[in-house]
Amino acid sequence: MDSLFQWITAIQILTFLQTPYLIRGEYKIVHPESPVIGFLGEDVTLPCRVTATSIPGDITLHWRLVRPQENIDVSSYNRGNKEEKQDERYWGRTEFFHHEMNTGNMSLKLKNAQVSDAGNYMCRVVSENWYDEVVIELHVTARGGESSIFMEDYADQGIGLTCRSEGWFPEPQVLWLDSKGQKRTEKPTTSNTKTPAGIYNIESAINIEPGSDNEVSCKIINNILKTASESRVLISDVFFPTTSPWMTAFLIILFLSVALIATVGYKLKNNNDTTSRSDKECLSSQRESDKKTGKIAIQEIQENIDRLSAELEFRRAQSYAVPITLDPDCKHPELKLSEDQKRVWKDPSSPELDAASWALLVVGKEGFVVGRQYWEVEVGEKLDWELGVLCQSVRDRVKREKAETLPEEGYWSLKRSQGDFFSSIENAKIEKRDGPYKVIGVFLDREEKKISFYEAEVMLLITTVPADFTEKFLYYPFLSPRNNTGEQKALAIHPIRVPVPLKPLRKEK
């Protein structure tokens, strides 16, 4: 009898010991596959889901922040008595999904995420005879603002550039790159400032030496999001200004031509002085005719000088040619770019726009901070388009808001509407002269504070617009195809062939 009682007692004990494990096997918390990423100032959900056929009504849910120095009981909830508790540091910032607990959703919503919220959170679910727990890793980050490059000063024979951006977390990585996307050889100096809120403001400086790659990129990388903010500038050769040999030769030829005309005129005057009085009387009528012919010749010479001077001015502008590419991240959504990012057109499938919103923009990738730059745009025979230069703040607005129209200020442009030309200065109409107007040259001259527009095929100056540039700010090319839809009506960056100076046929001794 005692032996039978011992067996029954042993079976009861074993059954009692196995009960939690059997029940625990019926319930399980799903472990998240990757850390949770939350953004500063935004809400984030810490996932915790129980898989079961039915959820007991007496469970207690605990969320705890686990740290080496201390554990914080963030929030807890008892389904039996509906009691909810919060740590004072999280007061008003946590919320459970009460209506979804029957389906196993034990997640916690954390409102207005802060830098101090990052860490490992334990989700623990406890019932009368069962429990389970899982740890969720929370990363808190901030996307950061757009990066901008500024010219600070001249350093020795180079130029000092500074890259700035605000609102980053955690502390990002800053890279200075060349035109090939490779890390530059110059050594930058980076000083990041941590604000009271715990985020970082970025400032990195670098000196670009003459003769090095003049395309400069500042890239700021968020290593949590694996994303980056990048700004790029193209610095023209402003450190060692030189005069091209072909231009020097042209000026010499022009000077010799004027000297030759003056010499011929002087000899004719001497011949007239030595002529006898009788001869003068006989030749008086001839001289009157010669005067008229001389006036015509002088007028033709003056016209030639004006034409050659205009050509010389155009060639000087064209010698500052820079490469331009269009930025796919800084354009209106209804505009399409070619694969090489040199051509832009309006999507034919987009809805028709009224005249006020025709100025759909695309901005160039290259921003210019100093010196002179020239580029050309092929407009073909289209009668409606707009192109020119805009400042950094307008470019940022286009990129941020995908703006359809240009603001009242901050840009300088040449616009063609129904065949007529207009300047951005008070929308003044420009007198049109004979010319094909198929390729338009744009000359950005920050030193003279002006922007000139040329008919590039015949080297004709269309208009010059005064510009009040702000020192150390970037200025960008922009295009607008207006109502020209379809790839066949695209505006295109036109390749420029600058004359190559002639080399001497023999070496000087």
**pLDDT by position in tens, the chain (length 509):** 455 445 445 544 444 444 444 344 467 888 888 999 999 989 999 999 998 878 888 889 999 999 988 899 999 999 888 899 999 999 999 999 999 998 899 999 999 999 999 999 999 999 888 889 999 999 999 988 888 888 776 666 678 889 999 999 999 999 999 988 899 999 999 999 998 888 999 999 998 887 788 889 999 999 999 999 888 887 765 443 344 444 554 555 555 555 555 555 555 555 555 544 555 555 566 666 666 676 776 677 667 777 777 888 888 888 888 889 999 988 888 899 999 999 998 877 665 544 444 568 899 988 888 888 999 999 998 888 999 999 988 888 888 877 677 888 889 999 998 889 999 888 888 988 878 899 999 999 988 999 999 999 989 999 999 998 887 788 999 999 877 666 677 899 998 764 433 333 333 33
pLDDT for residue 11: 45
Look up tokens 């987009």; give the residue: 350
Q: Which two tokens stand for residue 122?
A: 């334990």
Q: Which two tokens stand for residue 446?
A: 């920050």
pLDDT for residue 19: 41
> Given CA atoms 323, 321, 463, 492 in this order, what sign does their dihedral have?
negative
Residue 123 · residue 106 · CB < 8 Å: yes
Residues in contact with 279: Cβ distance below 8 Å, sequence separation at least 6, in sequence order: none
Question: Sheet of 108-110: strands edge to edge?
Answer: 44-46, 108-110, 94-96
DSSP codes of every residue in 275-309? S-HHHHHHHHHHHHHHHHHHHHHHHHHHHHHHHHH
pLDDT for residue 407: 82
Whole-model pTM over 0.85 = no
Residue 23 · residue 129 · CB < 8 Å: yes
pLDDT for residue 20: 41
pLDDT for residue 383: 87
482 Rama class: left (phi>0) / alpha (psi -120 to 50) / beta? left
Alpha carbon distance 54, 8 (integer Å): 32
